[in-house]
Amino acid sequence: MIADCNPQATTVPPPKALLLDFGSVMSVSVFERHRDTERILGLPAGTLTWLGPIAPDTDPLWLAMQRDEITERGYWSARAKELGERMGEGSWDVHTMLMRVRQTDPNSIVRPEIKRLIRAAKADGIVVGILSNELELFYGSEFLSRMDVLADMSVIIDATHTGILKPDPRAYAGAVSGLGVKPGEVLFVDDQFRNIVGADKAGLQTQFFDLRDVEGNLAAIAARLQLTLQVTP
């Protein structure tokens, strides 16, 4: 299955720029790594049952976020607190949780397929950037300084510093300006519908990244960019 939420994708010109969310799009999500997390933390297999967008019915907190009852930052803060307390270490913040469950190699959290996609896009003259609500807030500057893929970005707009969260139209405007193209020439990819809606209202082309079909999403993005991806890393 190829995920594509843009019914006009076949009628608009190929994008000149690719704008990516980081968490769950560029990085392998916490949800996908539950079994690894349990192993790393010494928790019994099957301890972590909340699966967010992969299986919303397993995650009332995620559903509350989708209803705008809590923010995305609030969701992850609650999960970090819960996991820290389960470990008997008190309330973790999100940065602590990510460092504990993702170990120490920043390059290992980035999807290899995304790296290949970015490399192919740049080789084809497509500019690539990141628009994130909490990149440095969650990961820390030292960790990010060792992440190779960030060197391939023409622009990184991070609400950790701007204070402007998606889906605020100013967030998209800042990213588009940094990419040096027109809004309609940007393909924006995000795993949150509210951010996709915001980008659509701002005039960007959009692609929803559905964690239930990562391979299909990547194929759809490549098709929208008219790219052929290498099968091997």
Please tell me the distance from the alpha carbon of residue 194 to that of residue 34, in angstroms, as a whole number.
25
Q: Is the pLDDT score of 229 beyond 70?
A: yes
Which residue segment(s) compose the domain that 44 sits in? Answer: 31-106
> Which residue has better confidence, 146 or 5?
146
Q: Which of 83, 97, 59, 52 is nearest to 192 (CA)?
A: 52
Whether residues 143 and 69 fall in one domain? no
Q: How confident is the model at residue 230 (pLDDT cuts 50, 70, 90)?
A: low
51 strand-pairing partners? 55
Angle CA 145–99–65, to nearest 5: 105
Place of tokens 């990244």: 209
Average pLDDT over residues 177-190: 98
Give the domain-ending residue among 76, 106, 136. Answer: 106
Q: Rounded mean pLDDT of 159-184? A: 97
- For residues 118, 119, 121, 126, the Cα torsion angle rounded to the nearest 10 degrees is 90
Q: Both tokens of residue 75?
A: 């969701």
The tally of domains found in the chain comes to 2
Across 48-76, average pLDDT: 96
Domain boundary among 59, 78, 106: 106
7 pLDDT exceeds 50? no
What is the per-residue pLDDT for 5?
52
User: Are 23 and 122 part of one and the same domain?
Assistant: yes
Boundary (domain end) residue, out of 75, 91, 106: 106
Shared-domain flag, residues 145 and 208? yes
pLDDT digits (tens, 9 = 90+) for 204-218: 999 999 999 999 999
Cα–Cα distances in angstroms (integers) from residue 185 to residues 15, 71, 130, 164, 205, in the given order: 5, 29, 15, 22, 7
Tell me, yes or no, whether 3 lies in a domain: no
